[in-house]
Amino acid sequence: MREIEKNMKPKELKAYRTQLFRDAEQWKTPDRIAHYGNIVTWKIFDAGYTIDEAMTNFDVMKDTVQKFLEKYPIDVLIDIGIRNQFNVTEAFGMGKNGYYYYDKEVVGINDHAYCPVDRLMEYIEDKNKYAWEVALPEKIPDFYDKPMEVWKNTWNEYWNYIMFILKMNKVTGAFGLANGAPNNPMKGTINFGIEEAESNLLGIKNLSIAARRNFDQLKEFCDAWHEKETKPIIAKIYESEDGPDMKYCFDASLIMLSQNILNPRQFDELYWCYLEPLLKAYEEKGKCPRIFMEGKIGQYADHFADFKKGSLCFHLENDDPWEIREALPNVCILGGLTTAMLSNSTPDECVAYTKKLIDELGSEGGFILSEDKMLSYRNDCKAENLKAVCEFVSNYELKK
């Protein structure tokens, strides 16, 4: 870390880091390139623990995050140790009926589906009602037999979890870590009907089938989702003050995955027609969302070509950053580091590649460094490689 940043107090450092992100998004040359840490459970191994030791023990998780931030001068961390709520689901005795699972080496998620395609409209009519009266009793066979003591324990663990979130905000605040994006609504990202169908309601397999066999039903659901969920967000954006919210590095966080299983017509009719008005609202208000482009987005690059510089930031996974820069010279790129390189190369090779990324993509703004995948498994990265990259990027000043 540069001396100037070492001498800053946490709040000052946080504001400075936020400015680095905002400068890059606005295509102004920042003092240095910001590093958005796409690091999830890998940091548990790096701190000397296994997944099962950390997942349900808040003290271990806090120690994990502190050790990570002491070792790596990163500017934003995608997960500050609060992503998985196993204490709550375990208190409820969810066991094998839970969608998430963990062992010593991995946190995983099973492809799941809790809503058949012919009940999607019932779900969107009242999501909580559907979850409470249909999804939970179907998911948990003894749902109606849980003793009151189990419900009380579940509540207590839920409360402890909320307190842990607040605690971790303080812990990371002491390191001057910047805030990624405002929560919306509480779960962190803005979601679309098609993404909810893919990730929870239908699952990947059923969505693929439904997009071909039940297109009209899916369209009706996505229309209803847009009316109930997305339009109120768009209205709030238009009501908000112009310009970026400087409490955050981005004005929103979106995740896109479904484009990978939709054909162009399906993408236009089930996704883009709802996404475009949201992105236009951010553009008109001078704001910039981060969109995590899981899989690839290059095949739909033309859809984003007319947006103003400063209104979009793509967090890339499998797309080549140089190809995206050529196709979309208006879009800020977040990414560049690959788990393949971080796990297989030497520190010198990683630093040389990082320098090339910065010099070719970021010398005039429009680039923020990050990892392509959420670092999760033990072998996703060598510690000495991440250390070398962090030291380089936190010291490499750009010429203005």
Partner 1 sequence: MADEIKVEAAEVAEEAVEEVVEEKKTDWPYASYPDGFNKLLNKVMPFWARPAKKMMGSLLIKVLVDG
Instruction: Report the interface residues with partner 1, using CB under 8 A.
Output: 85-86, 88-89, 92, 94, 98-100, 114, 126, 128-129, 131-133, 135-137, 139, 144-145, 148, 151-152, 154-155, 158-159, 162, 186-187, 200
- How many whole angstroms separate alpha carbon 389 and alpha carbon 348? 9
Nearer to partner 1, 71 or 167 (CB): 167
CA dist list (Å): 321 to 38, 290, 315, 327, 365: 16, 15, 10, 10, 14
Nearer to partner 1, 126 or 326 (CB): 126
Nearer to partner 1, 85 or 318 (CB): 85
SS3 call for 309: coil
Nearer to partner 1, 143 or 215 (CB): 143
- How many whole angstroms separate alpha carbon 247 and alpha carbon 17? 11
Nearer to partner 1, 107 or 177 (CB): 107
By the 8 A CB rule, do 13 and 176 touch?
yes
Strand partners, 291: 254, 314
Minimal distance in Å, beta carbon 151 to partner 1?
A: 5
What's phi and psi for 33, nearest 5 deg? -80, 135
What's phi and psi for 307, nearest 5 deg? -75, 150
Minimal distance in Å, beta carbon 344 to partner 1?
A: 34
Per-residue tokens: 147: 């003793």
DSSP E strands in 103-170: the ranges are 107-109
H/E element, 231: helix 231-239
Nearer to partner 1, 156 or 395 (CB): 156
Minimal distance in Å, beta carbon 113 to partner 1?
A: 12
- How many whole angstroms separate alpha carbon 335 and alpha carbon 79? 16
Minimal distance in Å, beta carbon 96 to partner 1?
A: 13
Minimal distance in Å, beta carbon 234 to partner 1?
A: 21
**Cα first-last separation, the chain:** 19
Nearer to partner 1, 142 or 349 (CB): 142
By the 8 A CB rule, do 312 and 284 touch?
no
Minimal distance in Å, beta carbon 297 to partner 1?
A: 25
Q: Smallest Cα–Cα separation from 55: which of 16, 13, 100, 15? A: 100
By the 8 A CB rule, do 253 and 315 touch?
no
Phi-psi region of 203 (alpha: psi -120 to 50; beta: other; left: phi over 0): left
Minimal distance in Å, beta carbon 183 to partner 1?
A: 11
H/E element, 267: helix 264-267
Minimal distance in Å, beta carbon 354 to partner 1?
A: 36
**In the chain, what are the helix, strand and coil shares in percent, each to the nearest 5?**
55, 10, 35
Nearer to partner 1, 2 or 83 (CB): 83
Minimal distance in Å, beta carbon 76 to partner 1?
A: 24
Nearer to partner 1, 98 or 244 (CB): 98
